[in-house]
Amino acid sequence: MRVCLVVALAACTKTAPVAITSLASVPRAEPVPAATPKALRVMSYNLNFGMAGDPDGAAAIAQGSADIVMLQEANETWEASLVAALPQYAHHRFAAPVDWPAGGMGMLSRYPIRSIETLPAGEGGLFFAWRVVVDAPRGPIQILNVHLRPPVTDGGSWVVGFFTTRGIREHELAWHLARLDPALPTLVVGDFNEEASSGTALATAARVGFDDAIAQHAGRTRTWEWQVGMMTLRFQLDHVLYDRHFVAPRAGIVEAGRSDHKPVWADVERVD
């Protein structure tokens, strides 16, 4: 209800922009630290399909120096530009959007990609997910790349959608998690379209043993912002979750790129 009131007030404000932050902060841009020798650095980045090929997107990825980069809203133009600009990633795969232009997926990896399985969107969802197996240095790991239902109704209302789409995201993520291999160390990354403080999908993941590296290390710092008239929406929608096979000593947000999302990264280390 608090968000609805803020949205209503912001829509009536004519003199100055109003920030809807959900307690999210905007940090000062700082260099991304180098990964430690034991760590595997994983990044997630919603590229924004409407900015396909933007060189600032490739530069933002390069700044993070990740070993594996999982992408949302990819398309053929993004694929061509990123593969050309980032030759350090010898292994890469992309899948074009199917029904929605924001529905594409992609990945860049320093390590061989063993397999990719496309998981159809769950009931009420809009975008497919990927279950990826990568031959990481300490053995194969499984990564679920998700782009869950945006908090907007079919009619385009963000206010109503903020409350009515939570159950859809929860169902989507539960459906995808049930299709993972329980024997493999697992990361779940992507655009969850919800915050750890209020999202039921993230709560479901926590109940089955996943921890959120971004919320742990970046607090409530925003990963997404969007200008709507006289107001700016800011939320932490992008996350890197890890299971009991890992610890995540560091994680953060790359303050670069021109997408509405910022790249997020986490250093994970195997503990088994």
| Triad 250, 251, 257: Cα angle to 5° | 145
Judged against a pLDDT cut of 90, whether residue 45 lies above it is answered with yes
pTM for the structure as a whole: 0.90
More reliable by pLDDT, 18 or 126: 126
Give pLDDT tens digits for 60-98: 999 999 999 999 999 999 999 999 999 999 999 999 999
Is the CB of residue 236 less than 8 Å from the CB of residue 221?
A: yes
Is the CB of residue 105 less than 8 Å from the CB of residue 94?
A: yes
Q: What is the pLDDT of residue 197?
A: 86
Cα–Cα distance, 257 to 134 (Å, whole number): 26
User: Could you tell me the CATH number of the domain that includes residue 176?
Assistant: 3.60.10.10
Give pLDDT tens digits for 205-227: 999 999 999 999 999 999 999 88
Cα–Cα distance, 134 to 88 (Å, whole number): 16
Give pLDDT tens digits for 167-197: 999 999 999 999 999 999 999 999 999 999 8
Range of the domain at 27: 2-270
Report the candidate in 28, 65, 19 with the shortest Cα–Cα distance to residue 267. Answer: 65
Give pLDDT tens digits for 117-160: 999 998 899 999 999 999 999 999 999 999 999 988 888 777 77
Q: What is the pLDDT of residue 14?
A: 33
Give pLDDT tens digits for 103-126: 999 999 999 999 999 999 988 999
How much of the chain, in percent, has pLDDT values that exceed 90?
Answer: 75
Judged against a pLDDT cut of 50, whether residue 4 lies above it is answered with no
Confidence bin at 22 (pLDDT 50/70/90): low
Give pLDDT tens digits for 226-252: 887 888 889 999 999 999 999 999 999
Cα–Cα distance, 126 to 135 (Å, whole number): 29
List the 139-147 sheet strands across, edge first. Answer: 113-119, 129-136, 139-147, 186-191, 238-242, 211-212
Q: What is the pLDDT of residue 3?
A: 38
What is the average per-residue pLDDT within 15-42?
Answer: 72
The total of structural domains in the chain comes to 1
